[in-house]
Amino acid sequence: MKFFPLFSCLFVLLFVACNEVNPKGEKEVRAFVIQWNQDHTVVSAPNLKRDYMDVVTYYDTEQTRVEVLKDKNRLFQQFPDYTQRILNNELVITKEGGSYLVTFTKQVRYNGIEADYPSYLSVMIRNGEFKILREGLADTAINREAPIFPNALERNAKNAKRQLFGDFNGDDLSDYASVMAPEIIATPKTNTPKSEKVTCKGECNSVIVFSAEGVAPITIKGAYQSELENLKDLNSDGADEIGFWDIKPTTKSLYVFDATKGILLCDPIVINTAVHKNLKLIDVFKKSGRNKITVTHSAQVNGKWLLQSDVVVLD
């Protein structure tokens, strides 16, 4: 009986020790994610190096830690005013085997834009410290083509040579626009009208992005090949308008946008390039007076394709 107290103490110590093999739990996970979030600034970005595993599933693509950090730095360089926060500080933490799945809504601000994105991290303990295994957007997230995400940033870098300069916010300073095109993964092999359908990685949309602060990106759905035009100030608001050519195998459509408001100033100007070939901007678009433009488009009349011109009065 003298050994019973000693045996009891040993039992308690062993029980506690077994439960202390992995002493870190939800409280520590929460603190780790909050600090990771706070480090998403130009000044604190170097701290992110300690947070990732050597290989990470990063926005659905396997990346090394070096590649992840390079992408983070590219984000901060392109948008120095970028900030993010966890909406309402709400984290949902789920234990999954040897890791934790953390879901939250990430509220971001950049270039005068604010948006919310359902997001997640998967973290595990390695050598006594939390490390990120996976980072990405939830399936319910929309606007995945935003320029702050890895694929968009990469496409934007590739399109740097296609920058169109102008004054798109009316501040009398030069800025530029460029197009982030979707990644095409399959194109038809026939020359029929159906061949205009292509397959893209994600949605087949193009996005016009602007360097000027406060000018929101413009998304053109179904556009995968394009050219930009500076149309100058058409509506007397002091800012240049921007033209977007949506180029397809048998058509070419010009979208005329008020860049500051992100709205179309007229219906798309559609040219049937199978009939009306080699038309340039000057052939289909002219400024014809104060707040007036003349547009020329293809129209089918009595079974024949003709060019028709209309005068559009801009508000």
Query: What per-residue confidence (pLDDT) applies to 35?
Result: 96
Query: What per-residue confidence (pLDDT) applies to 251?
Result: 94
Tell me the DSSP string of the chain.
-THHHHHHHHHHHHHHHHHTSS---HHHHHHHHHHHHHT-STTTGGGGGGGEEEEEEETTEEEEHHHHHHHHHHHHHH-TT-EEEEGGG--EEEEETTEEEEEEEEEEEETTEEEEEEEEEEEEEETTEEEEEEEEE-TT---TT-TTSHHHHHHHHHTGGG-EEE-SSSSSS-EEEEEEPPEEEE--S--SGGGG--EEES--EEEEEESSTT---EEEET--SEEEEEEE-SSSSSS-EEEEEEE-SSEEEEEEEETTTTEESS--EEEETTTS-S--HHHHEEEEETTEEEEEEEEEETTEEEEEEEEEE--
Tokens of 3: 């050994």
Query: What per-residue confidence (pLDDT) applies to 85?
Result: 96
Sketch the domain layout of the chain as residue ranges. 23-137, 161-277
Mean pLDDT by runs of 10 across the 315 residues of the chain is 46 40 75 96 90 94 92 88 94 91 94 90 94 92 82 59 87 92 66 60 89 92 93 94 94 96 96 90 92 95 94 90
Query: What per-residue confidence (pLDDT) applies to 12?
Result: 43
Residue 275 pairs in a beta bridge with none
- State the Cα torsion 111-132-129-127 to the nearest 10°: -150
Query: What per-residue confidence (pLDDT) applies to 276?
Result: 92
Cβ-contact 231, 241 below 8 angstroms:
yes
Radius of gyration of the chain (CA): 27
Angle, helix 150-158 to helix 65-78, in steps of 10 degrees: 70
Q: Please name the residues in contact with 266: beta carbons below 8 A apart, sequence gap of 6 or more.
A: 256, 293, 295, 312, 314
Farthest CA pair distance, the chain = 111
Residue 129 pairs in a beta bridge with 126
- Residue 60: φ, ψ to 5°: 75, 10
Q: Please name the residues in contact with 263: beta carbons below 8 A apart, sequence gap of 6 or more.
A: 257
Tokens of 53: 């595993």
Model pTM score: 0.53
23-137: CATH architecture: Roll (3.10)
